[in-house]
Amino acid sequence: MLLLSKKDIQKVFTMKDAVEADKEAFTLFSEGKSVVPLRTNIGAPKYDGAFLFMPSYVEDLECSAIKIVNVFPKNIEKGIPTTPAQVLLIDGKTGVVISVLDGTYVTQLRTGAASGAAFDVLANPTAKKGALIGTGGQAATQLEAMLAVRDLEEVKVYDINLQRTEEFVEKMNEELASYGARIIAAKSSDEAIEDADMIVTVTPSSKPVFDGNKVKAGATVSCVGSYQPHMQEMDSVILQRAGKIYFDSEEAVLSEAGDILIPLADGLITKEDFTGDLGDVLLGKVVGRETEEEIIVFKTVGIGTQDLVTAKHIYDKAVEQGIGTEWNS
């Protein structure tokens, strides 16, 4: 069994690799080639947390995986990841666990890459300005994914804690310098989204974190953070203004995401407003962006196929390059 830490994964796998893995995962999911039961979500209200169990199986890849990911937003105050996790990769021919991967980093990679895949497929090719709302454990890969798929000149970052925002921006300017974009701390969400072509929200907020009326025409918005029915970081106005609304999995989103469930219940949108899943766009079954001016919304909650495909590609590259620690019980 191969143990793969974050450092091991970073040696063999890039954000662009992760975006391509997510595209493959979404395509497999839309083709019905992956078995992905809806994830089990056990709330831990005492600590404002949740335990999530995400199994998946793809016969074509001859492997299965289960990710255990626990979401505890208050961990940010303790300086530890808000989503501690492990991924177990299982040989589909024998049922033997062949690898245990740092699930926190796999989650960060594939979750960032989901936005990256959506932006790659749906954002205006001429996009130059990005906005990121939230600086928690998922934020860095969301930012890198934006930079990996479009040649952005600047990204403005906003978080309710300005000091945390400034520290995050300083770190990202250092770590992501090779992309050549200016990363700037914004003092408000209005400032962050002003003139932004691509917007990511990645917060556990239960009230909208931006003003949907102030999003420019032609923008593409990826909402990542809301994963429970009471959470709503997306302003419902943006759904009403959107020309198209896409999902990683409509079924998964409608099982848990307040971003969509709340405006549906309030009658602000209907299911007729939904365009489809991103995998269907990749397969050519559903139309993508048609005009430069239309606003596009992508809502992602994550599907197990992403973990499986990402973990499988990381594992294959690690074996090929002799990276990781063998654990023989």
Kind of pairing between the strands at 40-44 and 49-58: antiparallel
What is the DSSP code (8-state) at residue 38? Answer: P
Torsion sign, CA atoms 296, 15, 133, 114: positive
SS3 content of the chain, % helix, strand, coil (to 5): 40, 25, 35
Tally of residues, the chain: 329
The b-or-e profile of 41-67 (16+ CB within 10 A means b, else e) is eeeeeeeebbebebbbbbeebebbbbb
Q: What is the mean pLDDT of each run of 10 residues along the chain (329 residues)?
A: 97 98 97 89 94 93 94 91 91 97 94 98 97 95 98 97 96 97 97 97 94 97 90 94 96 92 95 97 97 97 94 98 91
- The stretches of the chain forming alpha helices (DSSP H) are 6-12, 15-30, 103-122, 139-149, 162-175, 189-193, 236-241, 250-256, 258-265, 278-282, 304-321
Query: Whose CA is closest to 99, among 289, 273, 324, 320?
Result: 324
Residues 140 and 150: beta-carbon distance below 8 Å: no
What is the DSSP code (8-state) at residue 210? Answer: S
Helix, coil or strand: residue 180 = coil
Domains annotated for the chain, with CATH where assigned, are: 2-106+305-326 (3.30.1780.10), 107-302 (3.40.50.720)
Distance of CA 165 to CAs 78, 158, 183, 228, Å? 16, 6, 11, 25
Alpha carbon 297 to chain centroid, angstroms: 13
Query: What was the pLDDT predicted at 296?
Result: 98
Residues 76 and 82: beta-carbon distance below 8 Å: yes
How far apart CA 99 and CA 80 sit, in angstroms, is 24
**H and E: helices and strands count for the chain:** 11, 15
Query: Backbone phi, then psi, for 264, in 5-degree steps?
Result: -65, -45
Query: What was the pLDDT predicted at 329?
Result: 64
